[in-house]
């Protein structure tokens, strides 16, 4: 590698290291010392191998895109919660409107009873009954009095209960609004982190020359192939003979039709996808909705051994469950890899597997 190329790589690594350090939590920075007169740069004692520089770039890119994937999961989770909370607020608003109408009706009924009492000289049905001088109407009147008493009591009870319900609905709506605002802030924070990580990765790659980019892509392919080979060499597929369920076949067909579509963080089709957007939409198309994020898919869906997996199952990757792909058989998955890539087929063992989950268990 010539001095010009090495200079570009060094500059790129400097930029990405700065971004990585700045984004790390709890990083402390020393107070800058006084400026010094620059001295001659010493001649390096050893020249690093070209491949080593690109391997460092590849490692930095992997970390940036991984961090972006984690932030994307946080964004998607906040988005999903916000949608749910918005729906709950709408439902509560409808209950409040209905409750107010009911309360107004009860107030009208109570007002009518009060006006009737005024017209009768302020005497209640009970008083007028007891003061009556017609013994023959006693039994008939007794029933009407009891009915009137029950109706008045029920009216007041309904009114009090409706007022309590309205207050509860209002309190619930207020709580949902606070949660919604908190999730909006979480979503905005995740969005900023995603954009920061992706921007840093794109800047790093933009500083590479064409041949370096080609070599970097080759290193990525080699790393994936080596990981897949190592995974297959364990004999893991020897006992994997599972046949897809009817819903699993539908999910795989849906995912297959998305091949070539671009990865876009937060997207769930129809023109672009992120990793969990692809898997969640595939299973929704199969008539079996699953959680939106890879982390929730890992938490909520039934886990199965790798030896028992079948097409349609979801393979979860990395210790933090930040990536997911759909197993399609023969040791392969369909997944939406990362920004700048498209939905593609890859080796199921080309990334560190956390586990396998089955949506339609």
Catalytic residue numbers, as ranges: 275, 323, 335
Nearest to 69 by CA among 353, 339, 253, 299: 339
Query: Do 345 and 336 contact (CB within 8 A), yes or no?
Result: no
d(C-alpha 277, C-alpha 340), whole Å: 16
Task: Tell me the helix, strand and coil percentages in the chain, rounded to 5.
Answer: 65, 10, 30
Helix (H) or strand (E) run with residue 287 in it: none
d(C-alpha 40, C-alpha 56), whole Å: 27
d(C-alpha 119, C-alpha 74), whole Å: 67
d(C-alpha 47, C-alpha 53), whole Å: 10
Nearest to 159 by CA among 227, 109, 216: 109
Look-up of token digits 């999903």: 80
């Amino acid at each position: 590698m010539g001095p010009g190329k090495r200079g570009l790589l060094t500059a790129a690594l400097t930029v990405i290291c700065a971004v990585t350090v700045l984004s790390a939590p709890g990083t402390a920075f020393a107070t800058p010392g006084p400026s010094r007169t620059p001295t001659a740069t010493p001649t390096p004692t050893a020249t690093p191998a070209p491949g080593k520089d690109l391997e460092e770039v590849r490692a930095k890119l992997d970390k940036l895109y991984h961090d972006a994937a984690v932030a994307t999961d946080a964004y998607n989770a906040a988005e999903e919660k916000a949608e749910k909370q918005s729906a709950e607020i709408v439902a509560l608003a409808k209950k409040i409107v209905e409750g107010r109408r009911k309360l107004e009706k009860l107030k009208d009924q109570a007002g009518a009873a009060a006006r009737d009492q005024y017209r009768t000289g302020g005497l209640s049905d009970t008083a007028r009954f007891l003061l009556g001088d017609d013994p023959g109407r006693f039994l008939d009147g007794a029933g009407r009095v009891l009915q009137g008493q029950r109706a008045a009591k029920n009216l007041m009870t309904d009114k009090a209960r409706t007022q309590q319900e309205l207050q509860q609905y209002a309190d619930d709506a207020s709580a949902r609004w606070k949660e919604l605002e908190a999730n909006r802030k979480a979503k905005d924070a995740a969005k900023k982190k995603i954009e920061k990580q992706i921007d840093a990765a794109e800047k790093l790659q933009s500083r590479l020359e064409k041949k370096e980019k080609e070599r970097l892509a080759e290193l990525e392919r080699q790393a994936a192939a080596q990981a897949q080979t190592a995974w297959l060499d364990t004999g893991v597929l020897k006992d994997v003979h599972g046949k897809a369920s009817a819903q699993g076949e539908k999910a795989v067909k849906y995912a297959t039709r998305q091949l070539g579509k671009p990865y876009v963080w937060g997207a769930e089709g129809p023109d672009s996808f992120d990793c969990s957007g692809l898997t969640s939409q595939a299973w929704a198309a199969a008539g079996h909705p699953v959680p939106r994020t890879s982390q929730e898919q890992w938490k909520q869906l039934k886990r199965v051994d790798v030896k028992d997996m079948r097409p349609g199952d979801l393979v979860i990757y990395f210790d933090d469950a930040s990536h997911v792909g759909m197993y399609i058989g023969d040791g392969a998955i369909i997944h939406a890899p990362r920004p700048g890539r498209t939905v593609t087929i890859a080796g199921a063992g080309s990334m560190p597997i956390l586990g396998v989950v089955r949506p339609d268990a």
